Amino acid sequence: MNRASVLIIDDNTTNLSVLFETLQAANYHVIVAQDGASALERLQYTRPDIILLDIMMPGMDGYETLRRIKMHPAHQDTPVIFMTAVHDAQFEVRGLKMGAVDYITKPLQMDLLLTRLQTHLTIRRLQKSLQEQNADLEAYAHTVAHDLKGPLAVIVGHTELIADELAAHGLTHLSEQFALVQSNVQKQVNIINELLLLASLRKEAVQPTPLHMSDIVLQAQRQLAHMIAEHRAEIHLPTVWPKAIGYAPWIEEVWVNYLSNGIKYGGQPPRLIVGGAQQADGMVRYWVQDNGRGLTPTEQTTLFNEFTRLDQTRAQGFGLGLSIVRRIIHKLGGDVGVESKPGQGSTFFFTLPGAEEM
């Protein structure tokens, strides 16, 4: 097993000598630096597992050294333990807020120091192992979802052809049964699309741009054309949209989720009023108001959680839709919510930064 490496940053040669000997005897690989500048230089070509950093140093002190260490992508997650002779809680709080993981006062108790080092190295190893496992699991899930999408697209196409043939030959009873097959295939397609969207939310770093909301909502309606026709849904759109910034592909999926929920849980037939308005705080609020049964306060509190469904007999997929909406909007700097009373329908809304803010 490779030895853990420790970078010691301290201007006191006596402290450096004692720490060097103690850590070498404990089987650590030790790197030393006597000031912040030389430490940052060493960090250009080495990646220690943990850093011991003195606060009170001439020139660049420990706080500034830590700030610069955390600016480097390769060392952002490297645990840093502060060392200081100052017994002041304010110093400790400041260091922890800046990203240090621990704080040890001088004179150093070597047994305590070795214990703290081992504890934080163990925590870091567990974190890295968990990150690697999550990355492997996410990559596997994305690959499986992507590979399933093609075959399911073929199945969807053939089921549509078969449904047309059954209808053409007047086989109404078979058409009704086959509609269940089509519905369940579409559920699988929805689940896969949601998994792929969720993966992109975790990986993609997007640059928000001004949105052409009328075009985005039109594309969402095209995605839902079959559902709109099937439920004979009425959708009333504004003539003018307030301008906001965001990422169009994600916002289209937000509208798809809100509109499809309004259609599924709206009245008979569903009647949706869609709108948007500029708010005083610079945000823009968009909404979909339905004519459904409304929601109780309890239902509203859990609505945007994973795997929450209001009506088990009519819901599509596994309830990931609204939780993904929440993730999308939060990542774009906005918020989501619902306003509803039983018997008075529901208004689902989301906010985005106004375009004028850019």
Domain boundary among 74, 108, 142: 108
**pLDDT at position 303, please?**
76
Residue 285 has a pLDDT of: 97
**Overall number of domains in the chain:** 3
Secondary structure in 3-state letters for the chain: CCCCEEEEECCCHHHHHHHHHHHHHCCCEEEEECCHHHHHHHCCCCCCCEEEEECCCCCCCHHHHHHHHHHCHHHCCCCEEEEECCCCHHHHHHHHHHCCCEEEECCCCHHHHHHHHHHHHHHHHHHHHHHHHHHHHHHHHHHHHHHHHHHHHHHHHHHHHHHHHHHHCCCHHHHHHHHHHHHHHHHHHHHHHHHHHHHHHHHCCCCCEECCHHHHHHHHHHHCHHHHHHHCCEEECCCCCCCEEECHHHHHHHHHHHHHHHHHHCCCCCEEEEEEEECCCCEEEEEEECCCCCCCHHHHHHCCCCCCCCCCCCCCCCCCHHHHHHHHHHHCCCCEEEEECCCCCEEEEEEEEEHHHC
Q: Do 291 and 172 share a structural domain? A: no
- Domain match, 285 and 185 both: no
Inside any domain, residue 123: no
What integer pLDDT is reported at residue 177 of this predicted model? 72
Domain residue limits at 94: 5-108
* pLDDT of 325: 87
The reply to whether 234 and 329 lie within a common domain is yes
Are 45 and 190 found together in one domain? no
User: In the chain, which stretches have pLDDT less than 70?
Assistant: 1, 134-147, 149, 172, 175-176, 182-183, 186-187, 189-191, 193-205, 305-320, 356-358
93 lies in the same domain as 216: no
28 and 101 fall within a common domain: yes
- Tens-place pLDDT, residues 127-176: 888 877 766 666 656 566 666 767 777 777 777 778 777 777 777 677 66
Q: For residue 122, is it within any domain?
A: no
